[in-house]
Amino acid sequence: MDSMLCVSGSRLIQSGLTNTNHFKERPVIFVNAGGGPIKKEGNINLDIDKDCCFEGGDVIRTDESIINGGDIPSVYQSARFGTNLNYKFNGMPVGEYLVDLHFAEIVYTNGPKGMRVFDVFIQEEKVISELDVYSIVGANKPLQVVDVRVSVGEDGVIFMRFDGVVGSPIVSGIYIKQATELPKSTVKKELLLCNNCSAEVKASSDQNRVTRTNSLAKYEKKIEELKAQCQLKTDECHEAWMSLTAANEELEKIRMELDNRFFSNMQLDQAIQKQKTELRDVSRRYECDKKLWVAAIGDLKKKMKMMKIEHSQLSDAAHGCVNNIPEFNKMITAVQVIVAQHEDLRLKLNEEQAKSKKLYNQAQEAKGNIRVFCRCRPLTKEEISNGCQTAVDFSAAKDGDLTVITSGSTKKIFKFDRVYSPKDDQVDVFADASALVTSVLDGYNVCMFAYGQTGTGKTFTMEGTEQNRGVNYRTLHQLFKIAEERKETVTYDISVSVLEVYNEQIRDLLATSTTTTKRLDIKQVSDGVQHVPGIVEAKVENIKQVWDVLQAGSNARAVGSNNVNERSSRSHCMLRTMVRAKNLVNDECTMSKLWLVDLAGSERLAKTEVQGERLKEAQNINRSLSALGDVISCLANKSSHIPYRNSKLTHLLQDSLGGDSKTLMLVQISPSDHDIGETLSSLNFATRVRGVELGPAKKQIDMGELQKFKTMLDKAKQELRSKDDAMRKLEEGFQNVDGKAKVKDQLFKNQQERVHELESQLASKTDLCRQLEKQLLQLSEGKKEKEEICSNFQQKVNELEKKLKEQEEAASMNLHFKVLTICTYYRKF
Ligand code: ADP
Ligand code: MG
């Protein structure tokens, strides 16, 4: 260790600073490197300066205790360390000084040795060479290098440099004190040159030169011997080292080979394990599949058996059917004969229907295409209380005669098709009107209207009340009734429209928006057929819907005016029913119209009584009623020109007045003697319409002619009845035959369907049988294949296991051999 010290007189102390050995001499300067100042403490009568005069390096501190730290261990708990570290103390008086340097390893307390090696230069002279504090004292232990002699010249500077050889230098404290001057003789030195290393060896002048030379030679010789020995040992070492290296390499190789073997064994093991699990999986799946196949095959076999049974049953049934075919053929011919008969009957029925229709129409026509009924209402309570008298006589009402007692005893007789007294009710009135309903359904246009003075019962007759319904409702009810009866042979499509004609303007009472101001007009769509474009046609399928439509119309009429009765008496309310018929037997289609009209009051107002709007209304009513009278009269007289277009009313009714169409006028009169004027006016109008003028007291008709007419009518009626009976019988016969034919037809169809069904079933079962056989074949082939795959797998596994065993044996043999070789080798070595 002392070889580190380059200055004679200096030495190492492996402990901390103590009072006893050093503090006798007062320091010139004592620096606590890397730390602060330390005041006198304990038995040390010394102040230590804080770190100063340094250049470079960093500060480090430790809280760990310093072992053998002496009297001031805190000096060693701080240090300055780092590269380019130096201390420069200026202003030192010229002279000799002794420097003590204090070290401790407080940074790398775990070593290793040699991690921090450094040189110390003072005044550029190396004073400590390759100092390794850790390798001398270890960590956290003080090391002192004391009494390093230093001379300070004129510049008054002591310069210390710490140079790292390995790592960076470290220093904990620097203590500088003045030294006593050495005698010149002791200071003087001589240099000797070493023959071996050419180093200059210092020798004191008082040593004997001769002795020195001798001892030097002796040392040199010794060195030579030592060198030779050293060389020998080096060679031996080298040889041993080489063989050791070779053995190590061999060992390494073997280890590697062993590792490789081990690894490949492991891989083989894994592969075998994998193969084993795969094999197990395959066999398990195979077992499962096998079970499934067995079950499926069993199932299929059962199904096959069942199907074979079914197949034979079906074949039997099919054979039975085939045997029945001649029977069927016979039935077919029989049915064909029946169908032909049926066709014949149908033609006859058509003819009969046409004839019946014609006859009915003839009967109606015989009654007159224009018929006039007269109805008189009872006296009202008011009239009775006012002392009004009945001015109408109904004693001959049954014969259609009506006598009006005019002034005094003057009587005027009127003749109508029917006369209803105040006792006759709604049912009686309708009983006669209902005949026309059949005509409507037969395809004829019909028009019924009520005419008369306001308050005589026009609305009562046409509309009636909810409890006592009038012609409108009853007619439509009858329409639906007959339509229902005829539904087997004819289908009817019925729609209803409700119009109002006021001041020569048409208003649609079924239009949804009450504010509709659209002007409705009459258009001729084809020869003699009138239509009002844009009019609402409410489709009705039953009488309930009809009632709703009638109500809607009635309500709409009320909405249009402030005073319903007033308005209704000054406008014509027209209910139009369109009937579209389709004969299912001969596909004949017809379209007919039924008009049910409640006319405006016919009373004539004195010209002085009315003005303005009321006058206009009255004029319009008069014009339209006159036009109606004219048209009907012209029709009755078979006039060449019929003035339909003189009013909206007649124009609307054009196709329902005249020609084949039937017209029924219901003239309403009051029984009161107060209304006699209007009553006579109405009756005259009605008579004109009827086309037969009656004399004032006597019947104007030729009774012989009438009798002839009556006989004709009775004959026609009888004929009609007998035709009706024949028709009914024919129809019944036809229905019987038709029913039988239908039954046979159905039977035949059923049998044919059954044969087809059986045939198709047979075909599908045969197909299924074939498919099942095919599936069975495929399944048994699949089973064989799977079995082959399994046996292949088993073989492979056996082979692999065998290989593995062989490899394991070879590997263990090889290993055993290697181990033996290595052991012998080592034993040798
Ligand atoms: P119009 O429509 O001709 O102006 P209405 O039908 O309004 O007359 O009849 C006026 C009044 O006379 C109503 O109260 C009605 O009930 C009554 N009336 C009319 N005809 C008959 C009758 N045959 N039997 C009983 N009351 C009747
Ligand atoms: Mg009325």
Residue 279: pLDDT band by 50, 70, 90 thresholds?
A: very high
**Which residue among 374, 375, 376, 377 is best mutated to probe the pocket of ligand 1, counting the most ligand atoms within 8 A of its Cβ?**
377
| Distance (Å) from CA 638 to ligand 2 centroid | 32
Burial class (CB in 10 A: 0-12, 13-18, 19+), 772: middle
pLDDT of amino acid 426: 95
- Of 195, 192, 221, the residue nearest 209 (C-alpha): 192
| Dist CA 457 CA 296 (whole Å) | 92
Q: What is the pLDDT of residue 366?
A: 60
- Residues with C-beta atoms within 5 A of ion ligand 2: 458-459, 568
Which among 379, 460, 466, 566 is the best mutation to test ligand 1's pocket, defined by most ligand atoms within 8 Å of the CB? Answer: 460
Query: What ligand has the least distance to the C-alpha of 458?
Result: 1
Distance 411 CA to ligand 1 centre (A): 25
Q: Whose CA is nearest to atom 18 of ligand 1?
A: 457
Instruction: From 96, 98, 122, 127, select the one nearest 27 (Cα to Cα).
Output: 98
Least confident of 24-38, 178-192, 276-290, 718-732: 178-192
Does the annotation list 410 as a binding residue? no
- Pick the more confident residue, 448 or 766: 448
pLDDT above 50: residue 187 = no
Span 725-749, mean pLDDT? Answer: 74
Q: Whose CA is closest to 594, among 575, 613, 611? A: 575
pLDDT of residue 694: 32
Return the residue whose CA atom lies nearest to atom 21 of ligand 1: 377
CA of 190 to the centre of ligand 1 (A): 175
Residue-wise pLDDT for 73-111, tens only, equals 889 999 999 988 999 999 999 989 999 999 999 988 888
Is residue 58 predicted with pLDDT exceeding 80? yes
Distance 377 CA to ligand 1 centre (A): 7
CA–centroid distance, 473 to ligand 1, in Å, is 17
Give pLDDT tens digits for 529-559: 778 888 899 999 988 888 888 888 887 775 5
Q: Is 560 marked as binding a ligand?
A: no
- Ligand at shortest distance from the CA of 667: 1
**Assigned token pair, 529:** 């057929």
Locate 191 and state its tokens: 């240099």
The atom number, within ligand 1, closest to the CA of 463 reads: 6
Residue 602: nearest ligand to its CA? 1
Per the annotation, does 457 bind a ligand? Answer: yes
Which residue minimizes the CA distance to atom 19 of ligand 1? 457
Phi first, then psi: give them for residue 222, nearest 5 degrees: -55, -40
Q: Report how far ligand 1's centroid is from the alpha carbon of 606 (Å).
A: 24
- The predicted-structure confidence for 319-330, as pLDDT tens digits, reads as follows 887 888 888 788
454 CA from centroid of ligand 1 (Å) = 9
pLDDT digits (tens, 9 = 90+) for 369-405: 788 999 999 999 999 999 999 999 999 888 899 999 8
Joined tokens for residue 506: 């048409």
Nearest listed ligand to the Cα of residue 461: 1
Tally the C-alpha atoms within 13 A of residue 454's C-alpha that lie toward its C-beta.
Answer: 16
Ligand nearest to the CA of 455: 1
DSSP letter string, 134-171: HHHH-BT-EEEEEEEEEEE-TT--EEEEEEEEES--EE
Ligand sitting nearest the alpha carbon of 375: 1
Q: Which atom of ligand 1 is nearest to the CA of 420?
A: 23
User: Residues 22, 28, 30, 33: is their CA dihedral positive or negative?
Assistant: negative
CA-angle at 261, arms to 256 and 264, nearest 5°: 125
For residue 701, pLDDT over 60 is answered with no
| Spacing of C-alpha 507 from chain mean position | 52
How high is the pLDDT of residue 734? 65
Position 739 scores a pLDDT of 76
Ligand 1, residues at Cβ distance < 6 Å: 377-378, 452, 454-460, 569, 601, 668
Which atom of ligand 1 has the smallest separation from the CA of 465? Answer: 16
Contact 468, 617 (CB under 8 A): no
For residue 56, is it left (φ>0), alpha (ψ between -120 and 50) or beta? left
Ligand 1 atom 12 nearest Cα: 457
Give per-residue pLDDT as tens, 166-177. 899 999 999 998
Indicate which ligand has the atom closest to the C-alpha of 460.
1
Distance (Å) from CA 575 to ligand 2 centroid = 14
Q: Can you give the pLDDT at residue 725? A: 77
Q: Is 458 annotated as a binding residue?
A: yes
Ligand 2 midpoint to CA 414 (Å): 24
Can you tell me the distance from the alpha carbon of 68 to that of 666, in angstroms, rounded to the nearest whole number? Answer: 154
Query: Would the annotation count 452 as a binding residue?
Result: yes
CA–centroid distance, residue 460 to ligand 1 (Å): 5
**Alpha helices, DSSP H, located in 637-702:** 648-653, 676-690
Which residue CA neighbors atom 16 of ligand 1 most closely?
Answer: 460
Flag whether 453 is marked binding.
yes
Residue nearest to atom 17 of ligand 1 (CA): 457
Nearest CA to ligand 1 atom 10: 455
115 neighbors 55 (Cβ within 8 angstroms): no
Atom nearest to 454 CA in ligand 1:
4
Q: Please calculate the CA angle 15-17-18 and round it to the nearest 5 degrees.
A: 105
Distances (CA, A) of 670 to 380, 466, 666: 9, 23, 13
Tell me the whole-structure pTM to 2 decimals: 0.49
211: pLDDT strictly greater than 70: no
Contacts of 109 (CB under 8 A, 6+ apart): 64, 139, 140
> Residue 205: pLDDT band by 50, 70, 90 thresholds?
very low
CA of 529 to the centre of ligand 2 (A): 29
**Mean pLDDT over each residue of the chain, to the nearest integer:** 83
DSSP 8-class letter at 698: S
Over range 410-420, report the average pLDDT: 91
Q: How many Å lie between the centroid of ligand 2 and the Cα of residue 225?
A: 168
21 CA distance to ligand 1 middle (Å): 160
Of residues 234 and 821, more confidence is placed in 234
